[in-house]
Amino acid sequence: MTTKVLDESKPLSSAFAPLATNQLFSARHSEAYWQQATRCIDLVRRKVAQVDRPFTGARPEELRGLFQAVDLDAPLGSLEPALQELSRLYLDDAVYFHHPRYVAHLNCPVVLPGILAEAILSPINSSLDTWDQSAGGTFVEQSLIDWTAARIGLGQDADGVFTSGGTQSNLMALMIARDHYGASLEGHGGNKHEGLSADFRRLRILGSEVSHFSLQKSAAILGLGYQAVMPVACDDHYRMSPESLKTRLEECVAMNLIPIAVVATAGTTDFGSIDPLEEVAALCREHGIWLHVDAAYGGGLLCSRRYRHRLAGIEHADSVTIDYHKTFFQPVSCSAFLVRRRSDLRHVTYHADYLNPRCQAEAGTPDQVNKSLQTTKRFDALKPWLTLRIMGADALGEMFERVIDLASEVHDELVRHPDFEVLLDPPMSTVVFRYRPASLQEVERHEPERHETELDELNTHVRSTLSRNGEAVIAATRVGGRLYLKFTLLNPDTSLKDLVAIIERISHHGQAWCDAQTPTRAVAS
Ligand SMILES: *Cc1c(COP(=O)(O)O)cnc(C)c1O
């Protein structure tokens, strides 16, 4: 066991007293604030100008050593050396989402108004839990909620709150659906007061087999367990099959189970597929079940004139998840949870005398904490606010449209290529495919199992090589147990030419892998 001993030769905090108060954001230090903020912005500006690849390919074991050498109890005392250190530890090997060849996850490049809003909201540091900590900030958030609800078509009684992300929004949805059911039970005083009702093991949440894993996580957190999530089969296009949903609901009745929510996904994480919202909504209405629409990915369609119709039916939802930090091009975090009936948000309300007393709510004070799982909460709503005030929704919609169109173009390119297998026509901006060279056809014919295993290894190799070389960062997923590669397109600056170049590199590394295998294959056969 080692005990950390204070080094007497190092100055203790008293020696830093002047520096410490110098670092407070206040009128007294507005000049230092300006100079140092400018310095940071300049650092980022210069870095971005230099970045020539999305990632350097650094491995965790390579970076870990650099971090171990840093003693957090030995401050550097000023900005310059700290920035130099940070460049080395972080910026030099960061993953750059703005780079056209970053096409991996649902991370977007961000628009300037969103970044500028961060420059305003951080120093002022409003907390959006109560009116008395945010004032106008609360109305900015409420305006964004009202604007989003109106675009969805949730009606006059809709309400909602900003959240940390789609995961938290989905958790809220399922919690409220669970408590909405609890509130309907005779002789049960509600989950909030009494905990789960005696029948809690019979509660079920239905989502398609490719819905987001936050459903499972939420079910566990909510005391229902993973077992409560019932997967519903999809059609060939990875959309929830209404027939399967119908069968599942009938099974619930037959097995004395209680479906409390159906989660339809508008833009699945893996494929971008949109569940048939109208048909799912009709089944929910018929069975009196809560419909949550997880539009974390597809939400950006709300701004698109050309593709808004793909969300038709979303207006029937009881609740909706929207991630502005995906398809609205906003910095992380920026997300919302919305409900059709504002009174449903009462399930998350708790009145604390020191913060949000009941009398304050009755007097009409708008305290967002009454609708939120969080207490202290970032003023994230300022980011889409400034974006809408400067650029407007159409401009965002056009950026999303561009990547949707790009997905079709690269799909056509891959389909024409003899060495690639494409899984489906891209429903949004995701293209799922794998390298499957014609040269392996012999193996495929004679040993189909070995062929599949080889393809998995081959595609895994190609993906990690691209990343290691910094040529491109692409995603992977498993479909039917097999490894597929994925372009998740969110950067309107990515061109077809960039993607064709990546495809060329995939072929190159794939071919090299096959060539290296040939001797072993010859020995094996
Ligand atoms: C990204 C995503 C989520 C989770 O959102 P976070 O903001 O990452 O928490 C939920 N559902 C879907 C469909 C998503 O694509």
Write the pLDDT tens digit of every residue in 6-33.
Answer: 555 554 444 444 566 789 999 999 999 9
Q: What is the pLDDT of residues 204-223, one digit of tens each?
A: 999 999 999 999 999 999 99
> Could you tell me if the CB of 214 is within 6 A of ligand 1?
yes
State the Cα angle at 311 between 320 and 498, rounded to 5°: 105
Mean pLDDT for all residues in the chain: 94
Give residue 22's pLDDT: 82
Domain spanning 115-391 has what CATH number? Answer: 3.40.640.10
- Residue 398 Cα to ligand 1 middle (Å): 22
- Mean per-residue pLDDT for 466-495? 97
> Could you tell me if the CB of 128 is within 6 A of ligand 1?
no
For the residues of 213-279, what is the DSSP string, one character each?
A: THHHHHHHHTTS-GGGEEEE-B-TTS-B-HHHHHHHHHHHHHTT-EEEEEEEEBS-TTT--B--HHH
- Residue 296 Cα to ligand 1 middle (Å): 5
> Could you tell me if the CB of 265 is within 6 A of ligand 1?
yes
- Among the atoms of ligand 1, which is closest to the Cα of residue 268? 13
Strands 319-323 and 290-295: what pairing? parallel
- Residue 174 Cα to ligand 1 middle (Å): 14
Give residue 440's pLDDT: 87
H helix intervals, 276-349: 277-287, 324-327
- Mean per-residue pLDDT for 276-281? 98
Give residue 505's pLDDT: 98
Closest CA to 331 of 121, 482, 83, 501: 121
- Residue 107 Cα to ligand 1 middle (Å): 11
- Residue 212 Cα to ligand 1 middle (Å): 7
Q: Give the SS3 label for residue 196.
A: coil
Contacts with 417 (C-beta within 8 Å, 6 or more apart), sequence order: 503, 507
Domain range list for the chain: 115-391, 395-524
Q: 501 falls in which pLDDT band (50, 70, 90)?
A: very high
Tokens of residue 516, six digits: 């290296």
pTM of the shown model: 0.94
Query: d(Cα 299, Cα 326) in Å, to the nearest integer?
Result: 9
Strands 430-435 and 482-488: what pairing? antiparallel
- Mean per-residue pLDDT for 170-187? 97
Give residue 442's pLDDT: 83
Is the Cβ–Cβ distance between 267 and 298 less than 8 Å? yes
- Residue 336 Cα to ligand 1 middle (Å): 11
> Could you tell me if the CB of 208 is within 6 A of ligand 1?
no
Is the Cβ–Cβ distance between 300 and 326 less than 8 Å? yes
Q: Which residue is closest in CA terms to ligand 1's atom 10? A: 166
Is the Cβ–Cβ distance between 410 and 487 less than 8 Å? yes
Candidate of 270, 321, 490 to mutate for ligand 1, largest count of ligand atoms within 8 Å of Cβ: 321
Give residue 19's pLDDT: 61
Whether the per-residue pLDDT at 4 is higher than 70: the answer is: no
171: left (phi over 0), alpha (psi -120 to 50) or beta: alpha
Whether the per-residue pLDDT at 523 is higher than 80: the answer is: no
- Among the atoms of ligand 1, which is closest to the Cα of residue 267? 13
Q: 344 falls in which pLDDT band (50, 70, 90)?
A: very high
Is the Cβ–Cβ distance between 162 and 141 less than 8 Å? yes
Summarize the chain as % helix, strand, coil (round to 5). Answer: 50, 15, 35
Give residue 3's pLDDT: 47
Whether the per-residue pLDDT at 127 is higher than 70: the answer is: yes
Give residue 15's pLDDT: 47
> Could you tell me if the CB of 165 is within 6 A of ligand 1?
yes
Tokens of residue 58, six digits: 């650094």
- Residue 387 Cα to ligand 1 middle (Å): 21
CA 113 vs. chain centroid, Å, equals 20
- Residue 167 Cα to ligand 1 middle (Å): 6
Instruction: Name the CA dihedral angle for 184, 185, 189, 193, rounded to a multiple of 10 degrees.
Output: -70
Query: d(Cα 468, Cα 480) in Å, to the nearest integer?
Result: 27
- Mean per-residue pLDDT for 68-74? 96
Contacts with 170 (C-beta within 8 Å, 6 or more apart), sequence order: 212, 214, 215, 218, 263, 292, 294, 296, 321
Query: d(Cα 279, Cα 282) in Å, to the nearest integer?
Result: 5
Query: d(Cα 278, Cα 124) in Å, to the nearest integer?
Result: 44
Domain spanning 395-524 has what CATH number? Answer: 3.90.1150.10
> Could you tell me if the CB of 269 is within 6 A of ligand 1?
yes
Give residue 219's pLDDT: 98
User: How many CA within 13 A on the CB side of residue 292?
Assistant: 31
Q: Which residue is closest in CA terms to ligand 1's atom 4? A: 166
Is the Cβ–Cβ distance between 325 and 106 less than 8 Å? no
CA-only gyration radius of the chain, Å: 26
Give residue 28's pLDDT: 94
- Residue 256 Cα to ligand 1 middle (Å): 31
> Could you tell me if the CB of 323 is within 6 A of ligand 1?
yes
Candidate of 326, 374, 477 to mutate for ligand 1, largest count of ligand atoms within 8 Å of Cβ: 326
The percent of residues in the chain predicted with pLDDT above 90, rounded, is: 90
Closest CA to 337 of 127, 108, 167: 167
- Residue 106 Cα to ligand 1 middle (Å): 8
Is the Cβ–Cβ distance between 102 and 502 less than 8 Å? no
Q: What is the pLDDT of residues 327-341, one digit of tens each?
A: 999 999 999 999 999
Tokens of residue 328, six digits: 């609205």
Give residue 99's pLDDT: 97
Polymer length in residues for the chain:
525
Give residue 445's pLDDT: 87
Give residue 466's pLDDT: 97
CA 3 vs. chain centroid, Å, equals 41
Candidate of 108, 211, 214 to mutate for ligand 1, largest count of ligand atoms within 8 Å of Cβ: 214
Give residue 167's pLDDT: 98
- Residue 322 Cα to ligand 1 middle (Å): 9
Q: 518 falls in which pLDDT band (50, 70, 90)?
A: confident
Query: d(Cα 20, Cα 399) in Å, to the nearest integer?
Result: 44
Query: d(Cα 394, Cα 157) in Å, to the nearest integer?
Result: 26
